[in-house]
Structure formats: C-alpha cells, structure tokens
C-alpha cells in the first residue's frame, strides 16, 4: 500500500508541474518530508542498500560484446564495437538489442528502418538470449573493492538487494558465478516489475519488499538511470565513477556522492 501511495503522489507531482499548477501542495510537502534524503549519512539513518549490477559490481562489457556480435553474425549483420556498446547498455536487454540493430542497419528513412527492426527483433532476441546465457560471466570481472564493500555493509547489519535492468534469468546466474549472490536478501531483474529504472517504481517496490522506507534505503549505482530513479523514489543515491552511464560523464549526474571503489562508501557513513 505504501509504495502505491508514494508512486501515485510522485506521478501527481510530475503532472502538476507539467500543468503549471501549484504542485507544492501540503500533501506533496508532507511526502517530501517523509522521504527526505538529507540525513542519510547520520549514524543509524540507513537500514538498507539497493545495489545495481552491471557497471557497479561487475564489468560485464566482455559478455555484452561477445553475445551481441554472435547475435549479429547469426543475423548476417555487421559487428559492433565495445565503445559504442558502452553507450547503449543500462536500459534493459530489449532496449539494448533494438539500439544495436538501429546502429548497424542502414535502411532508408527512419520509418522504414523501424519496420525492418521490428521484423528482426524476435530472431535477434532469441539469438542474443541463447548466446548470453552460454557466455554469462565468462568474460566479466568483479570490480576491485566490491567484495570488501558488500562484506562491510553486511557486517553493519544493512539489508541488501540487487536491482538491475538486466533480465532476472541473466542476473542471478551472474551473481552466483561471481560469488556475490550470498550478500543479497533479494535480487530483482528488469522483468521483475512493470517498469524499469529510471522509473522509480522498481525502487519503491524493492523498498516495500525490504520493509524499509525509501529515505532509509540508499541506491548504489553507476548511471543516470540509478540516480533518476532514486531521486524520484526519495532514496539517497551514491554513484561509482567507473561503469557505463551511457557514455556521459557520471560526475555531471545529480547524486549525493561519488566513489571510486565500492568500499570507499564505508567512509561516507
């Protein structure tokens, strides 16, 4: 019930802004106070941390590059380079596949290209899924400081959830393969909820499952997707300075703090 009320008020807030209404109503102010993130660094203020996966805990670019290029070869399409892939990941596999096809298929006007891509999507998705599941984790590495950081968060007694836009069928085996699964109370992929980050709904739903208010739940990620979702949900947010962030400078993203390693977070709380 709490998550539905918060989400409805967030949407109402956004609609009121667009309509030019006095969106700073008493109700919105009350909710803003409830989900204020200003005091998250105080001792005991945090009860839970939601952690992103790709680009935050694990460098999975090698997996993406291999699976996508095997998919493209199977479709007799040109390959794609790692630099461009880094700009496209982060919004879920469906978005990634469509974006990759858009990059490699030069088909007349935009409308014609869209039609051709729509026709290719079923075969592309089936191929990508098969190759990614076979490769998953074999060409990826856990970032330095991740194990130490997660271990300390667990020692502090914080509840931990992994929330990623990656499909659950990809996320859980990857965490298992890298020895990270045991740190998390819950793991939610991009198909776990009706919408993906940067929509706030996945964070609100995860907070509800954890039994912790958003203001006491920190989002730890690597991109604007994580930051925008956290801001809208009322969660404080810390971003790592590595990762992908769609090719844009992460220090320009609205966040509460930035860290070079996951275990650097320990100095913030």
* Residue 262 lies in domain: 40-59+142-268
| Predicted confidence (pLDDT) per residue in 121-165, tens digit | 999 999 999 999 999 999 999 999 999 999 999 999 999 999 999
Q: Which of 97, 115, 135 is the last residue of a domain?
A: 135
12 has pLDDT over 60: no
| Predicted confidence (pLDDT) per residue in 167-223, tens digit | 999 999 999 999 999 999 999 999 999 999 999 999 999 999 999 999 999 999 999
186: enclosing H helix or E strand: strand 186-188
Q: What is the pTM of this model?
A: 0.83
Can you tell me which residue has the tokens 């650097």?
264
24 has pLDDT over 80: no
Residue 192's alpha-carbon distances to 52, 168, 195, 208, 269, in angstroms, are: 14, 7, 8, 14, 30
Tell me which residues are annotated as active site.
52
91 lies in the same domain as 151? no
| Predicted confidence (pLDDT) per residue in 218-264, tens digit | 999 999 999 999 999 999 999 999 999 988 999 999 999 999 999 99
Q: Which of 135, 162, 196 is the last residue of a domain?
A: 135
Report which DSSP code applies to 250. Answer: G
Q: Which are the contacts of 84, defined by CB distance < 8 A and separation ≥ 6?
A: 103
235 lies in the same domain as 215? yes
């Amino acid at each position: 019930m709490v998550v539905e009320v918060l989400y409805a008020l967030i949407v109402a807030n956004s609609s009121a802004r667009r309509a030019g209404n006095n969106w700073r109503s008493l109700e919105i102010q009350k909710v803003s106070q409830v989900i204020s993130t200003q005091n998250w660094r105080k001792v005991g203020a945090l009860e839970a941390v939601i952690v992103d996966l790709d680009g935050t805990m694990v460098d999975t670019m090698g997996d993406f590059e291999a699976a996508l290029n095997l998919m493209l070869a199977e479709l007799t399409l040109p390959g794609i380079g790692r630099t461009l892939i880094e700009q496209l990941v982060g919004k879920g596999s469906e978005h990634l596949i469509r974006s990759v096809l858009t990059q490699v298929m030069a088909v007349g006007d935009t409308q014609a290209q869209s039609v051709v891509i729509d026709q290719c999507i079923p075969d592309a998705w089936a191929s990508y899924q098969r190759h990614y599941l076979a490769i998953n984790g074999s060409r990826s590495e856990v970032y330095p400081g991740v194990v130490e950081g997660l271990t300390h968060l667990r020692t502090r007694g914080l509840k931990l959830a992994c929330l990623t836009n990656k499909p659950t069928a990809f996320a859980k085996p990857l965490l298992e393969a890298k020895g990270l699964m045991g740190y998390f109370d819950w793991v939610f992929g991009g198909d776990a909820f009706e919408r993906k980050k940067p929509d706030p709904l996945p964070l609100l739903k995860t907070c509800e499952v954890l039994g912790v208010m958003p203001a006491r739940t920190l989002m730890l990620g690597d991109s604007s997707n994580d930051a925008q979702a956290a801001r809208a949900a009322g969660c404080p947010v810390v971003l790592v300075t590595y990762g992908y962030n769609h090719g844009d400078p992460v220090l320009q993203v609205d966040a509460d703090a930035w860290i070079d390693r996951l275990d650097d977070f320990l100095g913030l709380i």
